[in-house]
C-alpha cells in the first residue's frame, strides 16, 4: 500500500481507492499496518476509500454461508473505513443466481433487509456506503433503472450513494444520457470508476471500446465534476492516459 500511495502521489492524484482483495490488501491487516497507512495518506494529503471484496461475495445469496460471509466482510470494510477515515466504501449490490430468480420477491425482500442492515451499521460508524453498478446478467444492479430502484429503496439513508462504473455501463449497453437525465440518481453518485471495458476488475480489456469510455466521460464530467473520479486499471499506461483525459476535461 505504501508503494501504491507513492505512485498515486507521483501521478499527482489526491485520492486512493483501495481494492480490498488479497494479496493486494488484507482486510484483517494488523492495527500497526493500518495506522501506518493512515498516517502516510495523511502526510501525503491523500484521501482514501475502500472497494470491498466483490468477486464471490454476495449479500443477495440464499446460501446462508455465502451471505453471512459477505455481510461480515462488508462490515469489516466499514470498520476499516471508519478507522482509516475513508471517504466511503464501495460494495456490490449482489447477484441473483438461478434459485434467487425463481423466488424473486423473497430474494429482493432479503436483499433490502441486508442493505438496510449494512447502511445502518455504516451510519453508526459515520461511513458512506456506495453501491457500484456491475455488468453480469445476474447482477442486481446493472442499469439505470436498477440504480433508480436502489435510490427509491435507500435514499432515506444519508450515507447511501452510488459509485458509477463507466465500463460496466458500456458493457450492458446503457447510454450515459439515461443517467444524466435522472436527477435523483445523479445526486446520489458520489464516485465514478473510470476504466476499460468489460471491467476494470480484470486483466483482459476490450480496448476497442476505449473511445466510447472517453466520449461518455466527456458527456458526464460536467455534471459530476465535483465527485471523486477513480481511474481503475491494472495497466499503468491506460491509467495514465485516463488521468490525462480527466485533467483535460477539468
Partner 1 sequence: MRPIYGVSTAILGKYDESIINAVDFAGEKNFDVLEIICEAPEFVPGKVPNEYLREIRRKADDYGLRLQLHAPFYSINLASLDPEVNQMSRYILLKTIEAAVELEAKMITFHLGLCFLPCKLYYEEAMSILLENVMMLVDYANEHSIILAAENRGGRLDIGRSEDLLYVINKLGKPKNLGITFDVVQANVVNDPIEEYLKVKDFVVNSHIRDAPKGKEALLAVGEGEIDFQKLVKLFIDNNFYGPYVFEVSSKERALISRGAFEEIFSNLLLNDDKAVS
- Give the footprint of partner 1 on this chain (CB under 8 A): 21-24, 53, 55-58, 61-66, 69, 72-73, 95, 97-99, 102-103, 201-203, 234
Q: Which is nearer to partner 1, 158 or 204 (CB)?
A: 204
Q: Which is nearer to partner 1, 205 or 221 (CB)?
A: 205
Q: Which is nearer to partner 1, 115 or 216 (CB)?
A: 115
Task: State the nearest-atom distance from the C-beta of 141 to partner 1, in Å.
Answer: 17
Helix (H), strand (E) at residue 130: strand 129-132
Closest residue by Cα to residue 191 from 160, 155, 164, 218: 164
State the first-to-last Cα distance of the chain, in angstroms, to the nearest integer: 28
Phi-psi sector, 12: left (phi>0), alpha (psi -120 to 50), beta:
left
Q: Which is nearer to partner 1, 54 or 81 (CB)?
A: 54
**Torsion angle, CA of 241/48/133/70, rounded to 10 degrees?**
140
Q: Which is nearer to partner 1, 56 or 177 (CB)?
A: 56
Q: Which is nearer to partner 1, 91 or 147 (CB)?
A: 91
The C-alpha cell of 34 is what?
Answer: 493500518
* 129 bridge partner residues: 89, 160
60 secondary structure, DSSP code: T
Is 70 within 8 Å of 64 (Cβ atoms)? no
Task: State the nearest-atom distance from the C-beta of 142 to partner 1, in Å.
Answer: 17
CA distance 32 to 74: 21
Task: State the nearest-atom distance from the C-beta of 21 to partner 1, in Å.
Answer: 5
178 secondary structure, DSSP code: H
Q: Which is nearer to partner 1, 72 or 181 (CB)?
A: 72
Is 205 within 8 Å of 197 (Cβ atoms)? yes
Task: State the nearest-atom distance from the C-beta of 109 to partner 1, in Å.
Answer: 13
Helix (H), strand (E) at residue 231: strand 228-231
Is 142 within 8 Å of 168 (Cβ atoms)? yes
Amino acid at each position: 500500500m505504501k508503494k501504491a500511495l507513492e505512485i498515486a502521489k507521483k501521478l499527482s492524484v489526491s485520492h486512493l481507492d483501495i481494492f480490498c482483495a488479497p494479496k493486494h490488501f488484507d482486510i484483517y491487516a494488523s492495527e500497526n499496518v493500518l495506522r501506518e497507512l493512515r498516517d502516510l495518506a495523511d502526510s501525503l494529503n491523500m484521501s482514501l476509500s475502500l472497494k470491498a471484496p466483490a468477486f464471490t461475495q454476495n449479500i443477495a445469496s440464499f446460501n446462508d454461508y455465502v451471505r453471512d460471509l459477505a455481510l461480515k466482510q462488508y462490515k469489516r470494510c466499514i470498520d476499516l473505513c471508519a478507522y482509516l477515515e475513508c471517504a466511503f466504501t464501495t460494495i456490490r449490490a449482489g447477484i441473483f443466481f438461478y434459485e434467487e430468480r425463481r423466488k424473486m420477491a423473497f430474494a429482493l425482500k432479503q436483499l433490502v433487509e441486508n442493505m438496510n442492515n449494512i447502511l445502518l451499521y455504516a451510519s453508526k460508524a459515520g461511513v458512506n456506503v456506495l453501491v457500484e453498478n456491475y455488468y453480469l446478467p445476474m447482477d442486481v444492479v446493472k442499469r439505470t433503472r436498477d440504480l433508480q430502484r436502489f435510490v427509491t429503496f435507500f435514499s432515506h439513508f444519508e450515507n447511501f450513494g452510488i459509485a458509477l462504473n463507466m465500463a460496466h455501463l458500456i458493457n450492458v449497453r446503457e447510454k450515459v444520457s439515461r443517467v444524466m437525465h435522472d436527477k435523483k440518481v445523479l445526486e446520489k453518485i458520489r464516485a465514478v470508476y473510470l476504466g476499460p471495458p468489460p471491467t476494470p476488475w480484470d486483466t483482459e480489456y476490450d480496448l476497442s471500446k476505449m473511445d466510447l469510455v472517453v466520449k461518455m466521460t466527456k458527456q458526464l464530467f460536467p455534471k459530476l465534476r465535483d465527485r471523486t473520479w477513480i481511474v481503475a486499471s491494472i495497466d499503468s499506461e491506460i491509467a495514465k492516459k485516463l488521468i490525462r483525459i480527466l485533467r483535460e476535461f477539468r
